[in-house]
Amino acid sequence: MEFSRNSQEESFAEEVRTWLEEHLVGEFSDLRNRGGTGQEDIPVEILLEWEKELATGGWLGLDFPEELGGRNCSLFEQVIFHQTYVESRAPGRIPNIGVTLLAPTLVAYGTNEQQERFIPEILNGSEFWCQGYSEPDAGSDLANITTRASSEGDHWVVNGQKIWTSLAQYSDWIFVLCRTSAEDTRHQGLSYLLVPMKQEEIEIRPIVQITGGSEFNEVFFNNAKTDRNLAVGEPGGGWSVAMGTLAFERGASTLGQQTSFSQELDELLQLAKQLGVIEEPVIRQKLMKIFSELQIMRYNQMRMLSSLDRGGVPGPEMSIGKLYWASWHRRLGELALNIRGASGMIGMDPTPPLENPLGHGYLLDALQRTFLYSRAHTIYAGSNQIQRNIIGERVLGLPREPRGSD
């Protein structure tokens, strides 16, 4: 299965390469080959500035209409951008939830006023968003949320707690799924609100990860306010909007992700050669297996994207891709430490010593961070267990898993 490019697509790829060469200068000049998922080797503030720089070229809104500040790219042009971006060794991107999740949700469910107010600000990089879904007792079972909002005059007043909120401490806004009806339970009576983060009634508590970083946070709402007209969809109809948001996780960017995975595997192969373990039969077999699985991942994703390009819509089969790549990357991290041997279990002693308020004085290298962070892939954006349920019930048509009353 080959995917050749025509002259117009080659020209687009060259435009991307040229733009990156011209803009990875000045404060961004030393960002190449840095900032991969979980690496935490570039300050978030710089990555936010890089997002704004990308916005100057229109690269944040690849698939959005030009009148909203986008480029109106075809699906395969989006694929080309993400692949070329990674091949150019440009820095790893910060999760820009406003672009990938909220903006397409507003296009599908928002009012004209909401679209005009928020989408241009998202695509020009001036407003950064986070997601308010998970709670301590409502993760995979999202319908169990207890955060509440009441309508008071021209405002919604929000009280409750969210958890695992990525980059909340850097965000300007949060979209919050909360309960607005005291009578309804589970999926009914939920609303999808847009809430400004810069107010005293919101408290953010970073969660220290095993890698030492704090990408995730707890967010507490204590009478936080937002305007009455900032409910997306009808009040009480937030569940369908929230599920629509999850369906908008863009498939095209995963092709760039797979290019990054390929680079990680190439680096692991070089390490195996340097350490002299490349000839060990078990290691060779594992490397060959993980290489073959990466090719399968690419072909499966291209198959699904081809279907979308022919006018299809994202469906439950997208869970196959999420389950596959998340499990694959976790296995890659495990194989990396297997190849490293005992030294992979030891943190590096920095010189000079770290002045770390979190209490640990060691450094982790890229492979160690990949091993640790890749384990989160099988949990966030729908755990592996949830993905298997979706595939079994909605793709294969198997009987539903027994559940409590909805």
Nearest to 290 by CA among 343, 257, 327, 344: 327
The phi, psi pair for 40, rounded to 5°, reads: 55, 35
Q: Confirm whether 234 is a catalytic residue.
A: no
Cα(83)–Cα(77) distance, integer angstroms: 10
E strand or H helix at 195: strand 190-196
Q: 226: which residues sit within 8 A by CB, 6+ positions away? A: 155, 156, 158, 193, 194, 195, 196
In order of 41, 56, 204, 243, 404, the CA distances from 400 in angstroms are 44, 48, 38, 19, 12
Catalytic residue among 53, 201, 218, 249: 249
Q: Quickly count: other Cβ atoms within 10 Å of residue 168's Cβ.
A: 23
Cα(36)–Cα(31) distance, integer angstroms: 10
Cα(196)–Cα(27) distance, integer angstroms: 30
Tell me if 77 sits within 8 A of 8, measured CB to CB: no
Q: Show the tokens assigned to 47.
A: 């990555």
In order of 28, 43, 54, 129, 205, the CA distances from 48 in angstroms are 11, 9, 10, 12, 20
The number of CA neighbours under 13 Å toward the Cβ of 372 is 17
Active site residues per annotation = 249
